[in-house]
Amino acid sequence: MANIQQLHDNPQYYVNFQERSKDDLNPLSEMKDLASKIETFISDFSYPLKPYMPAVGRFLIVATFLEDAFTIITEWDNQLVFLSYYRGIYHGAAILILLTNAIAMVACSFLVLAQQYVEYATGGLIWVVTTQALCYGLISDFNYFLRNLSVLGGLLIVFADARTCKASSGPGVPMIEEKDHKMYIQLASRVLMILTFFGFFASLEWSLFSFFITILGSALCAMVAIGYKAKTSAIALVSLLSLLNLFLNDFWNLHSNHPRKTFARYDFLQTLSVAGGLILLVKSGPGKYSVDEKKKAL
């Protein structure tokens, strides 16, 4: 309670007291306070994991490529038959596509993990994603198309992160202002990474719970896209994406001869790749074209 003598001696104190009381009762103010508390809790909880997050993020991003290369090698005949007979690709061209894709996926994945020639490595993996989408006909499936775009978003954030490290590593070299392509790459990566969620939301069966998940996920996706509380919303999206991935792509529960097992495993690993990109977003930040950066400049 305000002191009566203070209210009598200083009328302005009463006005300020009223304004503070209104702020305390403002639902928007309460939501901001709650968001700040959640952000502080997540930051404190994840602090011991921060040194390991970039390595984990990079590994998750390339895990799908390593598994895909292993599948091509161990199931060479089946892959060749699919491209030659079902996709109508010339036999010699199909062999060349499979061979170059397998080599590129293994080599580029290890370069990303070793943080060597990362720009070229991510370029090679982007080429693999594009050629596979065209050769395997994945571009015609809406969910696969969205997920492949999200994987590209994860690769773009690896590319942008590598440019940041490269720009800041040279002693005596002035820091390049973020007016180059990096800020556009970071914006594109944020937008692309959230696209896979819309495929997940579309695949959920209608229920009150799925409606709640869709609303919550859409709000978090919008926050990541515009770069508002990007690190906190990215962590929340990683948690949500992991839960959806475990429930919807549980290939380990399917029989070895189940027709959906291979596709479920592929979906599971690609979704992990998107989660890895979001983890790297937590580490590197949303970039210049974001609400968070605009607020810092004010």
Please check whether residue 13 lies inside any domain of the structure: no
d(CA 113, CA 61): 10
d(CA 273, CA 55): 13
d(CA 152, CA 277): 9
Whether the Cβ atoms of residue 293 and residue 226 lie closer than 8 Å to each other: no
Please check whether residue 253 lies inside any domain of the structure: yes
- Identify the residue with better confidence: 36 or 275: 275
Mean pLDDT of 63-88: 91
Q: For 180-246, give the secondary structure using H, E and C.
A: CCHHHHHHHHHHHHCHHHHHHHHHCCCCHHHHHHHHHHHHHHHHHHHCCCHHHHHHHHHHHHHHHHH
Spatial CA neighbour of 160 closest among 39, 290, 42:
290
Please check whether residue 127 lies inside any domain of the structure: yes
Express each pLDDT in 239-284 by its tens digit: 888 888 888 888 888 887 777 888 888 888 888 998 998 998 888 7
d(CA 194, CA 213): 14
Number of structural domains the chain divides into: 1
Please check whether residue 3 lies inside any domain of the structure: no
Largest CA distance in the chain: 93
d(CA 201, CA 126): 25
Please check whether residue 44 lies inside any domain of the structure: no
pTM: 0.78
Beta-carbon contacts of residue 131 (< 8 Å; ≥ 6 apart): 97, 101
Express each pLDDT in 51-64 by its tens digit: 778 888 999 999 99
Residue that has been written with the tokens 């709650």 in this structure: 34
Please state the length of the chain. Answer: 298
Please check whether residue 289 lies inside any domain of the structure: yes
User: In Å, how far are 8, 126, 262, 274, 289 from 120, measured between CA atoms?
Assistant: 72, 10, 30, 20, 25
* pLDDT at residue 160, as a whole number: 85
Structure tokens at 12: 């302005």
Please check whether residue 111 lies inside any domain of the structure: yes
Mean pLDDT of 221-236: 86
* pLDDT at residue 5, as a whole number: 52
User: In Å, how far are 41, 143, 214, 216, 270 from 206, measured between CA atoms?
Assistant: 33, 18, 10, 15, 24
Please check whether residue 180 lies inside any domain of the structure: yes
pLDDT bucket at 174, cuts 50 / 70 / 90: very low
Least confident range from 107-111, 209-213, 237-241, 289-293: namely 289-293
- Domain extent, residue 251, equals 53-297
Express each pLDDT in 91-145 by its tens digit: 899 999 999 999 999 999 999 999 899 999 999 999 999 998 888 887 777 888 8
